[in-house]
Amino acid sequence: MLREVLPGVFRVDHPLVDHLVTRLRDKRTGTAEFRALVHHLSVLLLYPVTEDFRRGARRVETPLEAGEFPVLDEQIVVVPILRAGLGMAEALVQVLPEAQVYHLGLYRNEESLEPVVYYSRLPTDLRGKRVLVLDPMLATGGSAAAAVSILKQKGADRVALLGLIASPEGIRRFRDRHPDAVVYTAALDRALNERGYIVPGLGDAGDRQFVTG
Check which CATH number belongs to the domain holding 138 and give it: 3.40.50.2020
Q: How far apart are CA 3 and CA 165, in angstroms?
A: 15
Q: What is the mean pLDDT of residues 189-201?
A: 94
Residue 30's Cα: distance from chain center in Å? Answer: 22
pLDDT band with cut points at 50, 70 and 90 for residue 212: low
Q: b/e for 95-116, b at 16 or more Cβ within 10 A?
A: ebeebebbbbbbeeeeeeeebe
What's the one-letter identity of residue 17? V
Residues 1-15: tens digit of each pLDDT = 888 888 899 999 999
Q: Residue 129: which of 149, 166, 157 has the closest Cα?
A: 157
Q: Look at residue 79 and tell me whether its pLDDT is greater than 60.
A: yes
Q: Look at residue 213 and tell me whether its pLDDT is greater than 60.
A: no
Give the domain extent around 91: 2-210
Q: What is the mean pLDDT of residues 122-130?
A: 93
Q: Look at residue 113 and tell me whether its pLDDT is greater than 70.
A: no
- Percentage of the chain modeled with pLDDT above 70: 99
Q: What is the mean pLDDT of residues 111-125?
A: 83
- State the average pLDDT for the chain: 93
Residues 145-174: tens digit of each pLDDT = 999 999 999 999 999 999 999 999 999 999
- What pLDDT shows up at residue 107? 77
Give how many domains the chain has, as a whole number: 1
Q: What is the mean pLDDT of residues 78-102?
A: 94
